[in-house]
């Protein structure tokens, strides 16, 4: 039996905005839990609010961490958070470092998302468009939670949006700075308050003409559209998060040829893969294992 990724502490995969565990045959972390488990890892996917602020989601995550520790007998866990899940994981580690051995940010907006900034600008606070958009997206989040059997989870789409903007994340970072780089584009401290911090992410590379059959992937096309609205990291973003904005702790790599959804393995089936996201997760688990985590 392969136990190359059998980490000392269990791994929790933390989903981002509008995330879920499983809906029928569909998984948010597509094939990732299975790939890790086949390499010996103990893996859990906690279900937290599909849309809410980082602190609310973080408190929900802490409840799951305590539950996993009780269930497995482990003293701590390794957190791997995608997108807003990275901020959720950071909150848990900052407020309860005795329960968290490591935090890994995958495509995390650790310095804010320019895509969120543009959406926030499009909806003026207190106006009818903002109210309608907030109500619709909150209702969608509630629907996601309901069909996964977690209708009790609170949802608030506008709080989620505000928490992902550059302004919102800047305020968050003042309270929870662990692992942040001192200079833009640099690396942060790998080890803070007995917690290890890592990050990796991707960027959209090449022109639309170079995409071949990937042009038929609506998710990739959506990422390209969102990425076109970036004004700071115009050339290096994954459609939702800029390359340097994703940096946290020890940066493994931040320019994989992957868009924001590719990093959770949501690839068009006809697309030629130059980087396999499943391999990235398994290799990272091996790194954690080698660290004694």
| 105-142 pLDDT, tens digit each | 999 999 998 877 777 665 555 543 444 344 434 433 44
Annotation marks residue 238 as catalytic: yes
Catalytic residue among 39, 83, 105, 141: 83
Say if CB 204 and CB 255 are below 8 A apart: no
| 56-93 pLDDT, tens digit each | 999 999 999 999 999 999 999 999 999 999 999 999 99
pLDDT of residue 101: 98
Residue with the two structure tokens 């103990």: 42
pLDDT of residue 124: 52
Average per-residue pLDDT for the chain: 83
Annotation marks residue 255 as catalytic: no
pLDDT of residue 95: 98
Catalytic residue among 117, 217, 238, 262: 238
| Of 148 and 120, more confident | 120
Among candidate residues 97, 268, 104, 250, the one with its CA nearest the CA of residue 181? 250
Q: What percent of the chain has pLDDT over 70?
A: 77
Catalytic residue among 111, 220, 247, 260: 260
Domains and CATH numbers, the chain: 11-290 (3.40.50.1820)
Backbone φ and ψ for 205, nearest 5 degrees, come out as: -115, 150
Q: Out of 49-63, 159-173, 260-274, which region has the weakest mean confidence (pLDDT)?
A: 260-274
**3 state SS of 71:** helix
Say if CB 85 and CB 15 are below 8 A apart: yes
């Amino acid at each position: 039996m392969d136990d190359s990724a059998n980490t000392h502490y269990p791994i929790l995969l933390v989903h981002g905005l509008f995330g879920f565990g499983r809906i029928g045959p569909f998984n948010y972390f597509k094939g990732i839990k299975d790939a890790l488990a086949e390499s010996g890892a103990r893996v859990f996917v906690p279900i937290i609010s599909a849309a809410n602020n980082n602190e609310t989601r973080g408190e929900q995550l802490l409840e799951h961490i305590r539950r996993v520790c009780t269930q497995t007998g482990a003293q701590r866990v390794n957190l791997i958070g995608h997108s807003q899940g990275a901020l959720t994981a950071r909150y848990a580690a900052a407020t309860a470092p005795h329960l968290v051995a490591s935090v890994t940010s995958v495509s995390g907006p650790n310095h804010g998302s320019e895509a969120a900034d543009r959406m926030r600008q499009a909806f003026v606070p207190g106006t009818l468009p903002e109210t309608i958009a907030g109500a619709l997206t909150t209702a969608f989040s509630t629907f996601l939670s309901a069909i996964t059997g977690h209708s009790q989870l609170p949802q608030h789409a506008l709080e989620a949006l505000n928490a992902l903007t550059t302004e919102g994340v800047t305020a968050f970072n003042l309270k929870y700075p662990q692992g942040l780089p001192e200079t833009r584009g640099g690396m942060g401290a790998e080890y803070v308050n007995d917690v290890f911090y890592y990050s990796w992410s991707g960027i959209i590379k090449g022109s639309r003409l170079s995409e071949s059959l990937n042009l038929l992937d609506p998710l990739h096309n959506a990422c390209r559209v969102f990425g076109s609205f970036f004004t700071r990291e115009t050339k290096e973003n994954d459609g939702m998060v800029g390359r340097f904005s994703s940096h946290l702790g020890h940066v493994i790599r931040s320019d994989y040829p992957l868009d924001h959804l590719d990093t959770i393995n949501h690839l068009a089936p006809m697309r030629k893969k130059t980087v396999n996201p499943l391999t990235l997760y398994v290799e990272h688990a091996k790194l954690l294992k080698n660290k004694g985590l």
